[in-house]
Amino acid sequence: MPTTASTADPASPASPASPASPATATATLPGPARGSLAPVRRGLRELLGLVLPDGCAGCGARDCPALCPSCAGALAGSAVRADPTPAPPGLPPVWAVAPYAGPLRPLLAAYKEDGRRSLAAPLGHALARSLLAAAAASPPGRPAVVVVVPSAPASVRRRGRDTGAVLARAALRSSRSGDLLAPERDPCPVGELAHVLRLRRRVRDSAGLDARERAANLAGAYAVPRTLAPLLAGRSVVVVDDVATTGASLAEAARAVRAAGGTPVACAVVAATPRRCAYPGGGPDD
Ligand SMILES: [Zn+2]
C-alpha cells in the first residue's frame, strides 16, 4: 500500500495535520506525539460524531455526513493505468481510479488515521473498480486471489483496526455487485481475499526517502508463511493497497507472492500519485 504521513506506517496517507509524504513503505517504529495521541483523537472524534456530523472528509464542508457531491465525484472515475515512473523492478501493472491529490489526501487520512469508518464503503466502491480492471488480467474462469499489502502491527493497534483489510473486504463486496460487474466477465474475475502477507522485519519510516531508498528499505520485508503458500500456488493474484506512490510496497508484495508460488498479474489502488499517472485533469504533471 502507499505513502503516508504517519511515522509508524509510511504506507498511510498523510493526515491534514501532518506534512504530506509519499506512502509506500510500512514501518513498525511508533510515531512520536501523533502516534501516542491517535487513540485519544479517534475516541474524541467518535464521541463527537454521535452528536455532531463529521462533515465532508475531503473538503471539510459541514453540511454533509461523509462526502460532499464534489469530493464523492473525485472517487467516481473509471480505473486507469497508474504505473509509477520509474517503476520498481517486478511491479505488475497498477490500476487506480483517482489521483492522490486534492481531496483524496485528507479523505484517505480521515479514513485511516481519524477513524472515519463510514468512508470504507465509498472508498471500497472506488477500489472495486480498480480491482475489477486489475483482475481482468487473470485467465477466464480462474478468478484472481486478492492479497492486501500488510499494515505494520503498530499501525493496526494505533488505529484500532486493520484499515487495509477493511477496505479490501468492502472492495470485494462491491466488485461482485451488479452495477460494476460487466456481463461479459461473469463469473466475477475477483476471487477470494487471502490475508497471507506478513512483515518479517522492522523497516524505517519512509518519510524523506526517495524511490530508491524506499525500495531498499522494503526489500525482503514481506513474506508469506509456508503454511499459507498453498493459497497462492498456481493462482493469479491481484495486490491491493489504498495508495500507490513510488510503487515500492506493491513491488515488494508482488515479490513475496511470486516467492510463494503465486503469479501477481496486477495491482489495484484507490489513488496514485498524479505525476506518475494519467488521469484526465488529474494533476499539473500529467
Ligand atoms: Zn467535500
125-179 per-position pLDDT tens digit: 999 999 999 999 998 889 999 999 998 888 888 889 999 999 999 999 999 886 6
* pLDDT, tens digit, 9 for 90 and up, residues 220-252: 999 999 999 999 999 999 999 999 999 999 999
* 5 alpha carbon – ligand 1 mean position (Å): 21
- Rounded CA-CA distance 236/147 in Å is 10
Distance of CA 68 from the midpoint of ligand 1 (Å): 4
CA of 72 to the centre of ligand 1 (A): 7
Per-residue pLDDT tens digits for 53-90: 678 999 999 888 889 999 999 999 999 999 999 899 99
Q: Residue 62's pLDDT is what?
A: 87
Q: What is the mean pLDDT of the chain?
A: 81
Output the CA 106–ligand 1 centroid distance in Å. 10
Fold of 33-276: Rossmann fold (3.40.50)
CA of 73 to the centre of ligand 1 (A): 9
Q: Where are the beta strands (DSSP E) in 133-255?
A: 144-148, 190-193, 198-199, 222-223, 236-240, 243-244
Asked whether 247 and 215 are in contact (CB, 8 A), the reply is: no
CB count, 10 Å around CB of 148? 24
For residue 243, the CA-to-ligand 1 centroid distance in Å is: 19
The pLDDT tens digits of the residues spanning 124-139 come to 999 999 999 999 999 8
Q: How many degrees, rounded to 5, is the angle at CA 260 between CA 95 and CA 258?
A: 40
Domain segments of the chain: what residues? 33-276
Q: Tell me how far the alpha carbon of residue 60 lies from the centroid of ligand 1, in angstroms.
A: 6
Question: Cell 503516508 belongs to which residue?
Answer: 4
Q: Tell me how far the alpha carbon of residue 101 lies from the centroid of ligand 1, in angstroms.
A: 13
Q: With a threshold of 0.85, does the pTM exceed it?
A: no
Give the model's pLDDT for residue 220.
94
